[in-house]
Structure 1
């Protein structure tokens, strides 16, 4: 039997996660009254039930009865009924943006600001986050990427990588990514833009990579960068961080930043203690701007 409690911040993707798990063969129940969790688990764990995978959605809509959840979970433990907690999270900035885009009202905002509702909700759900077996930050995850993560954990039964590192290349002229945790400026490196044969290519092309990495300063910078990142990662893990965005920028986000981001990504993905993803935010923007 696999009994998963799906919870987290409103707007972080809890409903989406339940749909994904349902498609994966889980029997899903959303917002079951907390007072019924014990009886529900008793039925599920009985020898007569044919259900072997359950996902139970719980969120802030439970209101005051949310305070009863700790006791309900303790009853499950005493009864020998194992469970796992999946907590979906996202940054306050991303949550506010999502609420504005959907024009939904936050369940705790009422007549106040969405940001105030998010702050209150985060405080009330902190005890659940501390107990969570899996914390997934969806701030920069696409739905298909969330599906991949859930599939690894709840279908393929792979070890969960609690820290997800995003290596992001960008162009300074298009603005620094707002969700960056670490930002590195590589505009001091020789620029392939001034080579006509390389100008239309990107850091994904071997010719540009060979040019950028053809200088000792590029290798020294990469070595020092990797050394620092490898020092920081375990300390971020100890702090409880589960999402780390490392942004590398050059002028247009097409040549130098892409090359260095690719190099960093390849080195980091050698470590199996965390998940690593890659994104080149501005790699094609120069072409779009010039076309207009």
Structure 2
């Protein structure tokens, strides 16, 4: 969506896939002082923002709408948001993998709103297609597949807890063997660095531990890569902010998500803090146990560092 002056109060449309966490998001925003309403008919949106909230005119507003909301039209909603004066409209689209949505519906024994008499996967497919226009133009797409409710609340506090003068930057780590990061705007693959997993004394440690950081730091490719990535991010972050992007996720990946990617995320976060930014750090796969099966095999006997197929 086109950027608006940042001093205006925020109007956040919370939408996306049913079962992706809309209720949790609205509850968290309400706890942070936002005025929140769920399933508001679109015809009442303008009156709610300006007519029913005169005493709280400067308070940010979050409105939950999805396929269950009366008058929900993914094609027309963006223009409706832009037509409301005196606010800064944003769209938060909540996404989630289909398999996880099916699990959640099975767990809660609820029926999908678009498939009351059919399997949940049919409704999920229909909803994903229907809401695609909103996903394409959303200011933020937040994938909740791998997030617990507590992690989702933490992420929302970082993103919507107050006004900032720079984008909310999240530096994350992940393991390619467990699936590429779904939330990343920029991804850096660290699998060219010598692998601590094949060092017996380093295997049970992680990239947060000094011995692992020292080991990867000794790789001749480490320092040049970190310096070049820092230079790139220092140049790009202000440009993203100037272009109206409020949130930026930078992900570092290795095979297992426990050593090289974690060390890279930790070091880059420290570098960016020294450069004047305030990044958050999230390690997706840090708690996963070490696994030779996931890591693959060393490139050659006696070479415990670099491998071609895995970490």
Whether 1:219 and 2:223 are equivalent positions in the alignment is yes
Distance 2:193 2:32 in 1: 49
Distance verdict in 2 for CA 1:273–1:215, change over 3 Å: closer
Distance in 1 of aligned mates of 2:261 and 2:56: 53
Shift of the 236–118 alpha-carbon distance from structure 1 to 2, 3 Å rule, reads: farther
2-side partners of 1:31 and 1:76: how far apart? Answer: 18
CA distance 1:25–1:60, shift in 2 (3 Å): same
Deviation at 1:279, TM superposition (A): 0.6
Please list, as runs of the form range in 1=range in 2, the aligned pairs for 1:1-292 lying within 5 A after superposition: 4-11=11-18, 12-46=20-54, 49=55, 53=59, 54-62=61-69, 64=71, 66=73, 73=81, 76-77=84-85, 82-91=86-95, 94-103=96-105, 106-108=112-114, 112=122, 114-123=124-133, 125=134, 130=137, 135=140, 137-139=142-144, 141-151=147-157, 155-159=161-165, 161=167, 164-170=169-175, 174-177=177-180, 179=182, 182-186=187-191, 188-189=193-194, 191=196, 193-194=198-199, 196=201, 198-227=202-231, 244-250=249-255, 252-270=256-274, 275-279=279-283, 281-282=285-286, 284-286=288-290
Offset of residue 69 of structure 1: 5.1
- Superposition TM-score, scaled by structure 1 size: 0.67
Tell me how far apart the structure 2 counterparts of residues 280 and 59 of structure 1 sit (CA, whole Å). Answer: 28
User: What is the distance in 2 between the residues matched to 1:262 and 1:113?
Assistant: 41
SS at match of 1:61: coil
- Structure 2: distance between partners of 1:68 and 1:192: 52
Structure 1 residue 88, shift from structure 2 partner: 2.2
* Structure 2, gaps ≥5 residues long: 1-7, 294-311
For the 8 Å contact 1:10–1:106, the answer to whether it is kept is: no
Cα pair 2:14 2:93 within 8 Å, conserved: no
Structure 1, unpaired ranges of 5+: none
Q: Contact (CA 8 Å) 1:138, 1:146: kept in 2 or not?
A: no
SS at match of 2:206: coil
**Paired residue secondary structure (2:227):** helix
What is the rounded CA distance, in whole Å, between the counterparts of 2:72 and 2:284 in structure 1? Answer: 44
Return the offset for 1:166: 3.8
- For residues 7-41 of structure 1, the C-alpha deviation after alignment (integer angstroms, 9 at most, x for no partner) is 22124433222112333344432222222334444
With structure 2 as the length reference, what TM-score do the two structures score? 0.64
Q: CA RMSD in A?
A: 4.3
Shift of 1:141: 5.0
